[in-house]
A and B are shown apart, each in its own frame.
Chain A
Amino acid sequence: MSTQKIISRNTSSDDLASDYKWGFTIDIEEDAAPKGLNEDIVRLISAKKEEPEWLLEWRLKAFRHWMRQNFEEPSWAHLSHPVIDFQDIHYYAAPKTKEDGPKSLDEVDPELIEAFNKLGIPLDEQKKMTGVAVDAVLDSVSVATTYQDMLEKSGIIFCSMSEAVKNHPELVRKYLGSVVPYTDNFYASLNSAVFSDGSFAYIPKGVRCPIELMTYFRINAEESGQFERTLIVAEEASYVSYLEGCTAPMRKSTQLHAAVVELIALDDAEIKYSTLQNWFPGDKEGVGGVYNFVTKRGKAAGRNSKISWTQVETGSAITWKYPSVVLQGDNSVGEFYSVALVNNYQQADTGTKMIHIGKNTKSTIVAKGISAGKAENTYRGLVKINASANGAKNFTQCDSLLIGDQCGAHTVPYIEVKNPTAQMEHEATTSKVSDDQLFYCQQRGIGVEDAHYMIINGFCRGIFQELPFEFAMEASQLLKVSLEGTVG
């Protein structure tokens, strides 16, 4: 176990393009495990977190399953990147805290609070944000969760995964891996073996969560991977809206992020999950950036349940992410709204899976892809209608916008229908920003660049409307920042 002091705010960002404003690093003492992965590391992570025996066993099973895959990561995606050396990564990095950890926000390292303040995520409850409970996760470890008292009054559990393992082991044991088993895919196996923290939310029967829950993820340590695990359980007739935001400092080396998110909605429950993903995308030459390999899946297990994914993806050098819904309960509903923007050398292969099992299940997919610079953007989505899904309906719309002639926009839908009463429709278009629209704007005195933003914003409007208000504003800003310099 080595202790690292990272001072790289100035050293690494000097020669990198500086238009990624979230690219600062924080000088915090890090408690990191040595590089590489073996059973000892898995045991060490489990021991660090003082986990019960069953969880260690589960991690080891996942690890052994992962090892059997011989470092052969999936290759079907439209992505190209150098081979990832999985033995050259720190699998555990945590901000070094006092012996017993902070009891309240007052005890949290002020530099940490400062770091999250810089990100615009005030952990200080006095300066109330807009009534959003935040769980801040820095390098795999949850550092603070706000508004816990208030949530407890309604019986809602919202805490870090480590705390949940300690305080609510029966819930974690029941649901962990029930939607994304450790055998699911290469990155999910890896995550199951080494996940360090994440958020846990449990909404009891009949409760409508009064405020939005939010987790803010940040990778800080260099050459470390972030493997968080999020689990949200919505009991009968409950409702929760959950937000997720991510940033990382600018590094020349790439960082690996392999998260797993599991959602479970029981009868009549609804989960709304929104993501603003803004990991460091690498500089203009494609150096550095986060490799984002994420497995997100929701199980609409109960009758009339609903799971809705909304994502705005602007960051990461590589995005590999397919938030899915297993529509198991009769009349359940799955939704996927996505804006994926890639610029410079970014590559994204993202989409969704809608698996219809229950009767009269419905799913809607609206995916908007924007490609600029030399980036490659792929929508890859599966709609599967099983033989049991009588009366299932799906509507899919994928639109792609190309800015410049060096980028690519691809659409790869998979449609598998095994039931004749199912109705499914798929539509997709690809085009550039319309010259007519641009002309109209310019003729009204709007500059080329502003006109582009306006048109692109309009293109994404349908998705932004699905986001909670503050998030929508931020998303729109993010889009503008990410597109700077690509037009005009």
Chain B
Amino acid sequence: MAEISSKYPQYTHDYHLVGSDKTETTLLEEMRQPAWTVFNNIGLPTARRGNEKWKYTDVRPIANKTFVYAPNVSIDRGLELKSLENFTPNSDDWINLVFIDGVYQPRANKKILDSVEVSTLHEALENHEELVKKYLGREADYSEDGFTALNTAFIEDGAFVLASESSEENTVVNLVFLTSGQVSDCVTYPRVLLIAQPGSHLSVIENYVSLCESSSLTNSVTEIYVEENATIKHYRICLEKAHGFHVGVSRVCQEADSTFISASFALGAAIGRNDFHVLLDGEGANCELSGLYLTLNDQHQDNFISIDHAKPNGTSRLFYKGILDGSSKAVFGGNVIVRKNAQKTDAQQTDKNLLLSDSAEIDSKPSLLIYADDVVCGHGATAGHIDEDTLFYMRSRGLDAETASRILIHAFAAEILDKVDLLPLGEFLNNIYDEYIPSATLSFGSVQ
């Protein structure tokens, strides 16, 4: 135990400062202690041998670096909230909740509705203590996960969203976690708890945006509970800078006849990890997860996605696409589990990758673990470059190679981008991808 905490002295130092200025013992403090003990025992998953969960991602660059807990550093967080609009999607109709360097910014919340409650975890502990007690940490198991343990050990505040039955379909909650770059080498531990009560409807956007040019770590944990007949549309946007590390853990638990539709967009991190787990814990639940990852230069993006069918009659669709350029590397670890009694499950899993450079690498592991017989499950994976015939066709119509390849890459990305049905968000993402999507620089025709 001593060995691990001496390995991470900064985390140890910061851990002991968290909450030390407060006198009352809250639920959050009760959660921190055991999580810290677990983190001390297991540390970060740096082992390479036999480490199937991190087989293709080496987290040693994260483990070997010292990150300062950003909320402990007193700086002026009075970043002009208006300028947020430059880096995050926004609309006057959305309910915003903004955290800058891990600290809640009360000025940003503009809109209040009765049907959807959006607050900090602190406020939620006052108004809905029972709910927070019941759900916070229930699905985010940290017993074997160093990053979740670390996040939980630093749980000080977070975002709380509660949608009630009277909520309307067009309600949008926009959560922003911004790393401002004012503190160099800093870490934040964003935490989200979303509860969609029976029959509720909601769209929610999670934005993780960094302006930090030095290295930074975002270690987030999101828990989403979709109760009976509720419908959640979820978007996860991760826009990190070149030296940013991002380890995002999302845990979703669905009850009977609920629907969860999610799209993840990842761009920019030096090492990015999207660890997404959905448990279909009620009959007839429906889940669609899609994602688009674009990696450039020497970036590394790891998508570790699993869908666990624990009850019968569930449907799931897992569809991820990747565009890889430079000497970047992307990982897709998909895992669909169908438990013994989850009969009549219909699960499909697809991963498609476009490799644009000679030195990019994709490691794809779309696995199926099936314990029930009356099921229809399938998966598919492809990797390749832009189809030469298509490119030839476009060039024969007078488009130059660069324009033609850009159009084709855009079309490849559009299949996921089109799943976004919030107009401001769609425009925001399209602009970003327009900026970052490279044009293929391959010399086609060299292969016989």
Contacts and interface: CB of A to CB of B under 8 A. Distances in A.
Interface of A: 74-76, 78, 360, 385, 387, 390-391, 400, 402-432
Given A417-B353, A420-B442, A410 B367 contact: yes
B398 interface: no
A422 B370 contact: no
Interface in B338-378: 340, 343, 353, 355-378
Given A76-B50, A404-B373, A410-B369, A417 B448 contact: no
Contact of A420 (B360, B367, B380): B360
B379 A415 contact: no
Contacts of A420: 355-358, 360, 384-385, 442
Contact of A430 (B343, B375, B446): B375
Interface in B299-342: 340
A415 B363 contact: yes
Contacts of B448: 360, 391
A408 B377 contact: no
Contact of B50 (A75, A405, A412): A75
A414 B365 contact: yes
Given A405-B340, A420-B385, A425-B382, A432 B373 contact: yes
Given A78-B369, A412-B367, 4 more contacts: A385-B383, A405-B374, A419-B358, A432-B375
Nearest to A72: B50
Contacts of B375: 402, 430-432
14 contacts: A74-B50, A360-B448, A405-B343, A410-B367, A415-B383, A418-B361, A420-B357, A420-B384, A422-B355, A422-B384, A423-B382, A427-B380, A428-B378, A432-B374
B52 interface: yes
Given A407-B373, A420-B356, A420-B357, A413 B384 contact: no
A413 B382 CA distance: 12
Nearest to A409: B370
A78 B376 CA distance: 22
Contacts of A417: 353, 355, 361-364, 383
Contacts of A390: 446-447
A424 B380 contact: no
B373 A426 contact: no
A422 B446 contact: no
B261 interface: no
B18 interface: no
Contacts of A422: 355, 383-384
Nearest to B324: A420
B437 interface: no
B108 interface: no
Nearest to A382: B365
Given A414-B363, A415-B363, A76 B373 contact: no
A75 B361 CA distance: 27
A404 B340 CA distance: 11
A404 B50 CA distance: 32
Contact of B380 (A391, A403, A426): A426
B401 interface: no
Interface in B25-69: 50, 52
A414 B333 CA distance: 9
Given A414-B365, A419-B358, A430 B385 contact: no
Nearest to B358: A420
Nearest to B325: A420
Nearest to A429: B378
The 10 residue pairs across chains A and B that have the minimum distance between CB atoms: A420-B355, A402-B373, A412-B367, A391-B447, A415-B364, A426-B381, A420-B385, A417-B383, A430-B377, A432-B373
B361 to A, nearest CB: 5
A424 B384 contact: yes
A402 B343 contact: no
Contacts of A424: 381-384
B373 A403 contact: yes
A405 B380 contact: no
Contact of B367 (A404, A411, A431): A411
Given A416-B361, A431-B375, A426 B382 contact: yes
Contacts of B383: 385, 415, 417, 422-424
Most B CB within 10 A of own CB, among A385, A416, A422, A427: A416
Interface string B375-406: 11111111111000000000000000000000
Contacts of A360: 447-448
A413 B373 contact: no
Contacts of A405: 340, 343, 372-374
Nearest to B447: A391
Contacts of B340: 405-406
